[in-house]
Amino acid sequence: MPRDAVPQPVRLSDYRPPDWLVDTVHLDVRLHPTATRILARLALRPNPEGREGSPIVLDGDELSLKSIALDGTPLAGSAYVTTAGTLTVLAPPQRALTLEIETVVDPSANTKLMGLYRSSGAYCTQCEAEGFRRITYFPDRPDVLAVYTTRIEAEREEAPVLLANGNPVESGAVEGTSRHYAIWHDPWPKPSYLFALVGGRLDRITDHFVTATGKKVELGIYVEPGKTERAGYAMDALKRSMRWDEEVFGCEYDLDVFNIVAVADFNMGAMENKGLNIFNDKYVLASPETATDADYANIEGIIAHEYFHNWTGNRITCRDWFQLCLKEGLTVFRDQEFSSDQRSRPVKRISDVRLLKGHQFPEDAGPLAHPVRPSTYREINNFYTATVYEKGAEVVRMLKTLLGEEGFRAGMDLYFDRHDGDAATVEDFLACFADANGIDLTQFALWYAQSGTPHLAVSGHWDAQARTYRLDVVQTLPPTPGQPEKQPMVIPLALGLVGPDGNDLPMRLDDGTNAERGVLLVTRPRQSFVFRDVAERPVASLNRGFSAPVKLTSDLTTQDLVFLARHDADPFNRFDAAQTIALAHLVEATAARRTGRDLPSPAALVEALGATLSDATLDPAFIAQALSVPSESDVAREIADDVDPDAIHDARQALRRALSAALRPALEGAYDRHAPTGAYAPDAASAGRRALRNACLDLLAAGGTAPGLARALAHFRDADNMTDRFLALSVLAHNAPDAREEALAAFYERFRDDPLVVDKWLALQAQIAEPGTLERVRGLTGHPAFSWGNPNRVRSLVGSFAGANQTQFNRADGAGHDFVADAVLELDGRNPQVAARLLAAFKSWRSLEPGRRASAERALRRVAAKPGLSPDVGDIVSRSLE
């Protein structure tokens, strides 16, 4: 197959069980920088559920095959064939047999960072989704589960630490050599994507955890030499995760050891390999001087996420990659719940919904839209998306909303019970909730199959005479790629009817039932709900807690929204009411900008935010969220077509200046009241105070007023932690062109030896909304701190430019689009996964105004025309242009 042939799509409907099963895998890995030798001994047997008489077809990718033997006898050249992607043993005896396969790989040349590669000299692996085939020939699919024993051998000098999945069995010197070895055994059958090994010169911190049934687990976190002091928070988060999963889901850990390794070169966030999680070091390492509060929160969430996979992903895995959301959506839901319990639940919900709307909604509205469970893919790595992860988590959350706390837990218990050890499907998962609760989830299952964000239009009608309140709900689902027609979904709509005194009115439906737990079930295209005994005109607080991932429009007036922003008992909707006012204002102001009309008045928003700022009962972290107005891409999404990013940017800046002026005394007061009281601590309460103080500073300095900038300079100078220092630096970089360079230079000098901090410095510069930014970013690609080989550097600089700088990426002259297209092509030969992810920044290109749309299309076509594209980039570009 030529490298640029876009592979044939894989279809869910074509699923067949494997013809051969693997019971055990013995690996003997002799680490060497450029020629690592892997001896694999596989115990295979025909699958009674497979096709009888089948050959043994193994996957392989960029392997050099040295030898192959069946039951101890070398195979004749005529007994097997290899292609670029497979090794097939022809006409094997149809019984249990052993294959011994010897392959050699070059970890130093592995720039794709899939399979066995090197990061800062250490050896590590990434096998999900299809990386194990880059280590040895294997049926590399998640429904083949085997017990692995791994022997690793290396130069003791080069790799004193040798780790693999499972429990340590033995280790020692290789007699008469400078080499040593370690043997690991993982008793839990697992698919190949969960395999991992690590070898290197690493420091570690250790701790232990005693499980609910009293078993002691040794915990280790391995980091680059000299960085152990930065691993403490991750260890703390790990222990809290282990306890939480026992308490909330009854999930206990199941090995004697649990190890985490942090590496500097990693395609994604982290990986849940059984007993040996491997992390992008940015999600492990933290110190007050180098990490922000947001970094701490991310570390806590991702440590939990990977740990929680031990049950949702590892003990119960996926039958095939179409079921990816089975483990990812569920595990994101679980990590969100964990963080909610550790921190503030409302604030966590607000930030999760911001993330969903900021990343998943645009995906669902563009050419890359796909269902939570796709039915076809050409490159599975392109489906580790916001839709599978974040919308997947929302679907699980809706199940919980529908079933209630106990019904949900009953379904989860049944799932763990019934499917432990299985490679399961979404149907298996849903059947557990249906069976445990005696309900039918057929219509609900559409959430997994239909892509696109449903739209709910809601209007309310109060009848003073009849004392009734009627809600009319219209559900529509837009067409998406491959899905022109849609069926109505089950939408759990949590709501409250807020009375004039700000308290919730009792909700009794006209059929006599109470809206159970405050949730209406919307199941049809049009539906009306009538509440009785409603003596006063209520204000409907709709989709409380963002109970369903929908776009909701209503007939609430601006005054109603101001009222909700002050009084809603649901904190999420209190936040959302003000955001809705701001968004409507920004859409109108953007249109005014483009047509030269006067800008609308922000009075309603000023009123709402003024009330929020002065409400002493509110959590500072909540107020901080409220103060941050919708992003440029939020506004672009709301406008939906003929988008002019410059007009949006101007409108947003003008609004921020207006808020700054109108709220100055309150902002200054809150800033002063939340001055630090002691040394930095990363806990949620302290972080919330910093968040509020920094949100105030950010608004005060909007537009570059002298007192605001003076405050920012002092904040920068006095900062004793990265949260404050970096916030002040961003404020200066965005608002103070005169102070910017000096501040950036000082920051770089201080942190130049700290790549994770340099990433922040790169990302910030890439986000400046000025015409000079493209040249700056281009220049930074030649900076000694930058490297195309490190995904974190690329994402910080080029990814931030493409994903978080709407005006400059979408420059009217097309230079931003061209630059990113060039970067994608530059990267594709080296690391297709990172290149494809970068290219996905074009996902909203069709919604741009005609000039920018044309330049985006030209850039995409230029990428598409390049010979030799990877399947990863080839897939994204072709779907983007479809």
- Segment 364 to 383, residues that bind ligand ARG, using CB under 6 A: 381
**Is the Cβ of residue 319 or residue 656 nearer to ligand ARG in the bound state?**
319
CB of 309 to Zn ion, least distance (A): 6
Pairing between β-strand 317-318 and β-strand 270-271 as defined by DSSP bridges:
unpaired
- Residues 283, 384, 429, 529: which binds ligand ARG (CB under 6 A)? 384
Least Cβ distance, residue 759 to ligand ARG (angstroms): 20
**Residues within window 132-151 making contact with ligand ARG, judged by CB under 6 A:** none
Q: Which stretch binds ligand ARG (CB under 6 A): 126-134, 198-206, 501-509, 658-666?
A: 126-134
**Whole-number minimum distance, CB 327 to ligand ARG, in Å?**
7
How many whole angstroms separate alpha carbon 290 and alpha carbon 210? 31
Minimal distance, residue 267 CB to ligand ARG, in Å: 5
CB contact set of 255 (below 8 Å; sequence gap of 6+): 166, 167, 186, 187, 188, 217, 274, 275
Residues 833-862 that bind ligand ARG (CB under 6 A): 833
- Decide if residue 79 touches ligand ARG (CB under 6 A): no
Which CB atom, from 36 or from 381, has the smaller least distance to ligand ARG? 381
Binding partner at 381 among ligand ARG, Zn ion, none, C-beta below 5 to 8 Å by kind: ligand ARG
638 binds, among Zn ion, ligand ARG, none (CB under 5 to 8 A by kind): none
Judged by CB under 6 A, the stretch of 19-27, 269-277, 416-424, 752-760 that binds ligand ARG is: 269-277
Does an H or E element contain 35, and which? Answer: none
Q: Which is nearer to ligand ARG, 165 or 730 (CB)?
A: 165
Name the minimum Å distance from CB 202 to Zn ion: 23
Binding of residue 130 to ligand ARG (CB under 6 A):
no
User: For residues 136 and 317, which CB has a smaller minimum distance to Zn ion in the complex?
Assistant: 317
Q: Whose Cβ is closer to ligand ARG: residue 148's or residue 283's?
A: 283
Distance linking the first and last C-alpha atoms of the chain: 24
Minimum separation from the CB atom of position 380 to ligand ARG (A) = 7
Stretch that binds ligand ARG, among 81-89, 123-131, 180-188, 455-463 (CB under 6 A): 123-131
Q: Return the number of other C-beta atoms located less than 10 Å from residue 205's C-beta.
A: 18
Structure tokens at 203: 């420091």
- Of residues 309 and 689, the one with the C-beta less far from ligand ARG: 309
- Min dist CB 564 to ligand ARG, Å, is 36
Instruction: Provide the b/e sequence for 6-23 (b: ≥16 CB within 10 Å).
Output: eeeebeeeeeeebbbbbe
Q: How far apart are CB 608 and Zn ion at their closest, in Å?
A: 37
- Pick one of Zn ion, ligand ARG, none as the site partner of residue 267 (Cβ within 5 to 8 A by kind): ligand ARG
Least distance in angstroms from the C-beta of 114 to ligand ARG: 6
Cis-peptide into 621, omega within 30 deg? no
Q: Which string of x and - marks every residue 320-339 that binds ligand ARG (by CB under 6 A)? A: --------x-----------
d(CA 615, CA 500): 19
| String marking each residue 299-328 x if it binds Zn ion according to CB under 5 A | -----------------------------x
Query: Which conformational region is residue 297 in: left (phi greater than 0), alpha (psi within -120 to 50 degrees), or beta?
Result: alpha
268 binds ligand ARG, rule: CB under 6 A: yes
- Which of ligand ARG, Zn ion, none does residue 129 bind (CB under 5 to 8 Å by kind)? ligand ARG
DSSP 387-427: IIIIIHHHHHHHHHHHHHHHHHHHHHHHHHHHHTT-EE-HH
* β-bridge mates for residue 220, sequence order: 206, 259
Task: Tell me the longest C-alpha to C-alpha distance in the chain.
Answer: 97
Q: What is 720-778 written as a DSSP string?
A: -SHHHHHHHHHHHHHH-HHHHHHHHHHHHHHHTT-HHHHHHHHHHHHT--STTHHHHHH
Of 426 and 670, which CB lies nearer to ligand ARG in the complex structure?
A: 426
Residue 346 is encoded by which pair of tokens? Answer: 């409302």
DSSP-derived 3-state class of residue 809: helix
Residue number, 128 or 568, with CB nearest to ligand ARG: 128
Give the helix ranges, DSSP H, for 663-736: 664-673, 684-700, 706-718, 722-735
As measured in angstroms, the least distance from the Cβ of 416 to ligand ARG is 19
- Whether 163 and 222 have beta carbons less than 8 Å apart is answered as yes
Per partner kind, with CB cut-offs from 5 to 8 A, the member of ligand ARG, Zn ion, none near residue 271 is ligand ARG
262 or 766: CB nearest ligand ARG: 262
Between residue 569 and residue 628, which ones bind ligand ARG under the rule CB under 6 A? Answer: none
Binding partner at 10 among Zn ion, ligand ARG, none, C-beta below 5 to 8 Å by kind: none
CA-nearest of 750, 792, 785 to 289 is: 750
**H/E element holding 1?**
none
Reference 771, options 736, 742, 805, 739; nearest CA is 805
Q: Which is nearer to ligand ARG, 328 or 759 (CB)?
A: 328
Residue 285 CA to residue 271 CA, distance in Å, equals 16
Any contact of residue 444 with ligand ARG (CB under 6 A)?
no
- Distance from C-alpha of 693 to C-alpha of 701, rounded to nearest angstrom: 12
Whether residue 734 contacts residue 688, with contact meaning beta carbons closer than 8 Å, is answered with no
CB of 132 to ligand ARG, least distance (A): 12
- Minimum CB–partner distance for residue 338 and ligand ARG (Å): 14
Query: Which position among 125, 267, 721, 806 is part of the footprint of ligand ARG (CB under 6 A)?
Result: 267
Count CB atoms within 10 A of the CB of residue 597.
11
The interface region with ligand ARG, picked from 9-17, 101-109, 303-311, 576-584 by CB under 6 A, is 303-311
124 vs 635, beta carbon nearer ligand ARG: 124
* Rounded distance between C-alpha atoms, residue 818 and residue 860, angstroms: 9
Beta strand spans in 477-515 (E): 491-498
Residues that contact ligand ARG, how many (by CB under 6 A):
15
Those residues whose C-beta lies under 8 Å from the C-beta of residue 78, and which sit 6 or more positions away, are 90
Q: Give the count of residues interacting with Zn ion (CB under 5 A).
A: 2
Spatial contact of 223 and 203, defined as CB atoms under 8 Å apart: yes
Nearer to ligand ARG, 143 or 607 (CB): 143
Please select the residue that binds ligand ARG; options are 306, 335, 364, 607, rule is CB under 6 A: 306
Active site residue 849: no
SS (H, E, C) 304-361: HHHHHCCCECCCEEECCHHHHHHHHHHHHHHHHHHHHHHCCHHHHHHHHHHHHHHHHH
271 lies in the binding site for ligand ARG (CB under 6 A)? yes
Choose one: 29-37, 270-278, 667-675, 721-729; the region binding ligand ARG (CB under 6 A): 270-278
Q: Judged by CB, which is closer to Zn ion: 331, or 792?
A: 331
The answer to whether 252 and 213 are in contact (CB under 8 A) is yes
**Sheet containing 551-554: which strands, arranged edge to edge?**
526-531, 468-476, 455-463, 551-554
Q: Quick check: 128 binds ligand ARG (CB under 6 A)? A: yes
| 188, β-bridge pairs | none
Q: Does 272 bind ligand ARG (CB under 6 A)?
A: yes
Q: Whole-number minimum distance, CB 322 to ligand ARG, in Å?
A: 14
At position 104, the amino acid (one-letter code) is V
| Contact track, Zn ion, 323-362, x by CB under 5 A | -----x--x-------------------------------
Q: Which of 100, 130, 153, 306 is catalytic?
A: 306
- The residues that touch Zn ion, with contacts defined as CB under 5 A, are 328, 331
Residues acting as catalytic residues:
306
- The residues that touch ligand ARG, with contacts defined as CB under 6 A, are 126, 128-129, 267-268, 270-272, 305-306, 309, 328, 381, 384, 833
